[in-house]
């Protein structure tokens, strides 16, 4: 395995680490990893670095990058709004990756905000042929909401009831303070990206699958408020046929930032196994195309 730090982008402002397999061979796909929120490209608990090195053992090159204004990357002049700039940055990463390793197909693997940016660039660029999203957009169902109440109550009844009581007291206290100060209730500022409407997300995933993009959605136990049972994707998008054509895993033992070594190993092993199948499928499709 070899690792090298590189700079690229229209103004040379983007920084990344390229991880290459030890044996020289032409790769069929390259994997692009990116920031999780404002965390450096190394990833939470070094997850991106560990993932890149594990994929190198599979013969897959990986580029883990910092988006504009994050980690070691600078901010370009006349930068676009964050969501648009992320797409431009990821496309620049694929351009440079393609020049360095002669790969024309890419896997985008992202966590949380990285998953959101991965979806955006997959929709914008046909070079993306596989998309892995951990704790991306989630759409609760009636069963999800029922589980929100019953799961904590089953696991820790006394603690849950005590928590509910304290929450009611705090809400009452806040209401009294608002009335006393004559200040209207303010909505909390949403600093994250709002999820698109369910129908829009469904059409986007359907469009990717129809284009031949392999999609793997993973949800951790930290998402239990929004995603908390294995069949939720099918229930939420039953009218779309992509539910039979994507992989969706619910991993309640893992958390949002893969804190434990066990969670990291489970996620890395799951992604590597899925990617192996994607590569085998791409190889088979290429062979069929040549034969015809």
| Cα 50 to chain centroid, rounded | 16
Q: Average pLDDT by consecutive 10-residue portion of the chain (292 residues)?
A: 91 95 80 94 96 93 96 92 94 95 94 96 97 96 89 69 73 65 42 78 98 97 93 97 96 94 95 92 48 36
Task: Please state which of the four CATH numbers 3.40.50.880, 3.40.50.300, 2.60.40.10, 3.40.50.1820 is assigned to the domain occupying 2-135+256-291.
Answer: 3.40.50.1820
pLDDT of residue 178: 64
pLDDT of residue 165: 75
Residue pair 107/278 in contact (Cβ under 8 Å)? The answer is yes
Q: Where are the domains of the chain?
A: 2-135+256-291, 150-181
- d(C-alpha 19, C-alpha 16), whole Å: 10
Size of the chain in residues: 292
pLDDT of residue 125: 97
pLDDT of residue 189: 34
- d(C-alpha 98, C-alpha 287), whole Å: 22
CA 45-262-226 angle, 5° bins: 80
pLDDT of residue 177: 65
What's the pTM value of the predicted model, to 2 decimals? 0.84
């Amino acid at each position: 395995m070899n690792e090298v730090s590189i700079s690229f982008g229209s103004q040379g402002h983007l920084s990344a680490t390229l991880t290459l397999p030890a044996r020289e061979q032409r790769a069929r796909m390259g994997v692009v990893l990116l920031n999780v929120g404002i965390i450096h490209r190394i990833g939470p608990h070094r997850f991106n670095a560990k993932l890149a090195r594990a994929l190198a053992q599979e013969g897959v090159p990986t580029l883990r990058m910092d988006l504009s204004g994050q980690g070691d990357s600078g901010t370009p002049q006349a930068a676009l709004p964050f969501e648009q700039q992320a797409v431009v940055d990821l496309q620049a990463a694929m351009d440079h990756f393609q020049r360095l390793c002669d790969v024309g197909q890419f896997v985008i693997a992202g966590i949380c905000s990285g998953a959101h940016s991965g979806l955006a660039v997959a929709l914008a660029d046909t070079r993306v042929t596989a998309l892995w999203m951990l704790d991306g957009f989630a759409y609760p169902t009636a069963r999800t909401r029922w589980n929100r109440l019953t799961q904590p109550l089953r696991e820790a009844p006394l603690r849950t009831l005590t928590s509910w009581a304290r929450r009611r007291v705090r809400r009452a206290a806040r209401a009294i303070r608002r009335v006393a100060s004559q200040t209207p209730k303010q909505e909390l500022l949403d600093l994250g990206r709002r999820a698109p409407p369910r129908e829009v997300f469904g059409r986007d995933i359907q469009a990717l699958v129809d284009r031949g993009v392999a999609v793997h959605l993973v949800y951790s136990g930290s998402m239990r408020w929004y995603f908390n049972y294995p069949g939720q994707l099918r229930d939420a998008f039953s009218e779309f046929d992509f539910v039979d054509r994507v992989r969706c895993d619910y991993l309640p033992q893992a958390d949002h930032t893969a804190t434990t070594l066990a969670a990291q190993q489970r996620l890395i092993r799951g992604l590597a196994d899925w990617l192996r199948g994607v590569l085998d499928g791409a190889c088979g499709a290429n062979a069929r195309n040549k034969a015809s």
